Copies of this chain bind each other. A is one copy, B any other.
């Protein structure tokens, strides 16, 4: 009983920290985009965390942890609608947490995947189709895909490993972001007549920076809670690998971008931190601190090149979500196959896992968004885009009545 109580306290705190990541994502996304679309982005993020929780309660939790039977192929299962008061009443449910904690911790994760997409499609997606996409993606795709590994499905049986979600959360969001960005097209003004990318600076870098620090804080819970108990050796190792990868990712991204562009680029520093965090997430519990430093450092370097590459292939991702969550998510997942001492975690099984998630995410996102594009449309009008989504979709300004006092 004491051990359950301790473990459950830790898991509840981690749940709170993962919840707080939604504030981090919100601030990061509005900070890196233009003022005229701020309300729209905040609205989307608030929609995602609330509707995400409700859907996870209604169907997600039972899609993700269906309790695959022995004869099941481990692709799809469903344990029924709603929460299970009988399971909840049994404190022997798990020694690491109660049924309620389990639901809430996993529910906080669920909404994260959609939030990743939100940043990538910012400043030009129509809000109602986006909300429809979120409902389907968070409600059905994320938990079904999640069941393949964390629910004990076929990838789990294959030996695929993803500790806290480099693939199951970050790539799942990242693949959808990639497809969505491709289907949507670039923002007006992002590429000039010759196809050269132009920087569209974010309107509030202090809030973006705060967002990254909040995300880092949230990762204490995201990775720390993924131990699924408060076991002192495992949880504290995970926090160390997580923080070292973040630090290494940031510093290397800053150094590489300085070498490349002769510029002390704060945004790249911040994205490097996020890349390091995403990169370590798949194996934070099976790495040594030295491994973590290497994985984070490589993630930091990847970020700089991935951001450039995505620009070059004319994909417009305002917040760098594809580089951070998809590319570093893949890197982190494969890194488990390279660095882990556990012989079950081979490079091949990791690669299979990456491919499986690519398949479900790309296909499902394409079907949903292509259908929406051909019916209601997914992109706002040119006028709305130029004047800002806040005025058109929300009738509201982010910063009304702002007066300055020139000095």
Q: Which residues of A line the B interface, CB within 8 A?
A: 2-10, 12-13, 15-17, 19-20, 22-23, 26-27, 30, 34-36, 38-39, 42-43, 46-47, 49-51, 53-54, 57, 82-83, 85, 88-89, 91, 97-101, 103-104, 107, 127, 201-207, 209-210, 213-214, 216-217, 220, 224, 230-233, 235-237, 239-240, 243-244, 246-248, 250-251, 254, 263-267, 269-270, 273, 288-290, 293, 393-407
Contact = CB atoms under 8 A, between A and B. Distances in A.
Contacts of A15: 220, 239
A54 B16 contact: no
Contacts of A398: 204-206
A209 B396 contact: no
A293 to B, nearest CB: 8
A251 B401 contact: no
A383 B372 CA distance: 53
A403 B233 CA distance: 50
A368 to B, nearest CB: 21
A403 B36 contact: yes
A404 B405 contact: no
Contact of A54 (B22, B35, B104, B248): B248
Given A273-B46, A403-B36, A405-B401, A4 B232 contact: yes
Number of this chain's copies in the assembly equals 3
A8 B213 contact: no
Nearest to A235: B12
Given A50-B247, A267-B396, 19 more contacts: A3-B5, A8-B232, A38-B206, A43-B264, A46-B269, A50-B269, A83-B289, A88-B237, A89-B233, A98-B237, A100-B237, A103-B240, A104-B240, A203-B401, A204-B206, A265-B396, A266-B396, A399-B402, A401-B407
Contact of A57 (B30, B289, B395, B399): B289
Contact of A12 (B20, B220, B244): B220
A266 B30 contact: no
A220 to B, nearest CB: 5
Contacts of A39: 205, 266
Contacts of A34: 401, 407
A405 B391 CA distance: 12
Main secondary structure on A side of the interface with B: helix
B263 A394 contact: yes
A48 to B, nearest CB: 11
Contacts of A406: 401, 403
Contact of A250 (B13, B50, B82): B50
Closest 9 CB pairs of A and B: A100-B236, A201-B400, A401-B407, A8-B232, A50-B247, A402-B404, A23-B213, A101-B236, A53-B247
Contacts of A264: 43, 127, 393-394
Given A6-B6, A400-B202, A401-B407, A46 B246 contact: no
Contacts of A97: 232, 236
Given A26-B213, A394-B266, A239 B104 contact: yes
18 contacts: A5-B232, A8-B230, A9-B13, A10-B12, A34-B401, A46-B250, A46-B269, A50-B247, A53-B247, A91-B232, A97-B232, A100-B240, A127-B264, A203-B400, A203-B401, A206-B398, A263-B395, A404-B404
A216 B50 CA distance: 11
Nearest to A90: B233
A205 B396 contact: yes
A218 to B, nearest CB: 10
Contact of A23 (B6, B210, B250, B399): B210
A247 B249 CA distance: 35
Contacts of A91: 232-233
